Structure 1
Amino acid sequence: MHIHNLSKTPSILNTFISELRDKVIQKDSMRFRRNIERIGEVLGYELSKSLHFENRNIETPLGISSTQLYKNEIVLCSILRAGVPLHNGLLNYFDAAENAFISAYRHHKHNPESFEIVVEYLACPSLEGKTLILADPMLATGQSMVATFEALKPFGTAKEVHLVSVIGAQKGVDFVSQSFSSDTHLWIADIDDTLNDKGYIIPGLGDAGDLAFGNKLQQ
């Protein structure tokens, strides 16, 4: 797998990440969502450099301008619900992309320390021969990414696969590296070293879904 960790090069991206992590600033859910969206835009821009381009002539009011435009057919798939702001950021740049949505959540069978990933809702166009961008803001264990990709297989074989995350744990990065083909790309804003016993990234930022949209109903 090709891993693109953008935190290795200091940039304005660091500001957005630091505000996501800050326990005071992140209480503003609107700002939290906007920072994830902005990170999605940065990751989308970097990802775009790896796409396939072709020369096209654009007619201006005064003549012809030749430029290179990407020719990939993109399907952007996000994992609900935390993936929505990240999806919006990517869609701001890939505005012609088709869209897919999937719900994948942790189901704790016996205790809080063990869980399985359950996929319920899924809406997706054909992926055959297209470029799949699979977005999930938190790459903790990596199980959600893998479960989602498996659920998408009946919709066709993508020509290229790109994974996009905001913050990941090294364990999750290693897991997806082993689970996806070697030509898959991972675009990620930062990678932390540790997971706790409940599978949350340390230091991370907390529960991205709750911070963006409010606490889930406890059953």
Structure 2
Amino acid sequence: MKIHHIAGQNSVLNKFLAEIRDVTIQKDRLRFRRNIERIGEILAYELSKSLPYKNIAVTTPLGEKNVAVNKANIVLCSVLRAGLPLHQGLLNYFDDAENSFISAYRHHKNGGEVFEIIVEYLASPSLENKTLILADPMLATGQSLVSTFEALKSMGKPEEIHLVSVVGAREGIDYVNKHFPGNTHLWIADIDPELNQRGYIVPGLGDAGDLAYGMKKQS
């Protein structure tokens, strides 16, 4: 798997990352969602550089210009519910993409540290020979991405796979690397060093779904 760590080079991305991590700023849900969306736009731009292109002729008021445009048949798939703002950021740039949504959540057995990933809903077009962009803002243990990918296999075999995340832990990245095809690309804004005992990213930013949409009842 090829890893693209975008915050490895300084850019305006760092401002948005700082704000979604900041315990005072992130309390503003509207701002939090918008920052995740803007991070999605930056990741989409970086990802777009790796896609196949074709030349088309564009007629202007004064003549004609040849322009290279993306020719990939893209399907954007996001993990509900935390992935929605990130999905919108990607869709702002890949506005002609098909869209897929899948639910995945952690079920902590008896409220303990051990959990399983429950996938309950999937709505997707065919993925056969298409470019799959699978988005999940928090790449913690990596189990959610692997579980959703297993569920998506029934939709066909994509030609290319791109994973998009905002913040990930190295342990989760290693786990994903073992379970996805070798030619998969991971586009990630920033990488944190570790997970705590409950499998949450440290220092991370907290629960992205709760910060974007409000607290949920724990399962």
TM score, norm. by length of structure 1 = 0.98
**SS at 1:181's partner residue?**
coil
What is the root-mean-square deviation in Å for CA atoms of aligned residues? 0.8
- 3-state DSSP of counterpart to 1:110: helix
Residue-pair matches, total: 219
Query: In 1, distance between residues paired with 2:3 and 2:34?
Result: 25
Which residue is 2:150 aligned to? 150
SS at match of 1:141: coil
* Structure 2 gap segments, 5+ residues each: none
Query: Residue 152 of structure 2: SS of its match in structure 1?
Result: helix
Identify the residue that residue 41 of structure 2 maps to in structure 1. Answer: 41
Distance 2:62 2:7 in 1: 43
- State the one-letter code of the partner of 1:94: F
1:7 maps to which residue?
A: 7
Partner of 1:175: 175
1:26 maps to amino acid: Q
2-side partners of 1:9 and 1:184: how far apart? 22
Superimposed CA distance per residue, residues 73-123 of structure 1 (whole angstroms, 9 cap, x where no aligned partner): 000000000000000000000000000000000011234210010000110
**Counterpart in 1 of 2:28?**
28
AA aligned opposite 1:74: I
Distance 2:217 2:126 in 1: 33
Q: Work out the CA distance in 2 between the residues paired with 1:172 and 1:7.
A: 18
Q: Which residue identity is paired with 2:53? A: F
Secondary structure of the residue aligned to 2:126 is: coil
Q: How does 1:17-96 map to 2 (within 5 A)?
A: 17-96=17-96
Shift of 1:217: 2.5
How much has 1:62 moved relative to structure 2?
1.6
Q: Which runs of 5+ in 1 are unaligned?
A: none
> Would the alpha carbon gap of residues 218 and 170 (structure 1) be closer, same or farther in structure 2, given more than 3 Å must change?
closer
Scaled by the length of structure 2, what TM-score is found? 0.98
1:99 aligns with 2:113: no
One-letter amino acid matched to 1:160:
E
Q: Partners in 1 of 2:24 and 2:133 — Cα distance?
A: 32
| 1:66 alignment partner AA | N
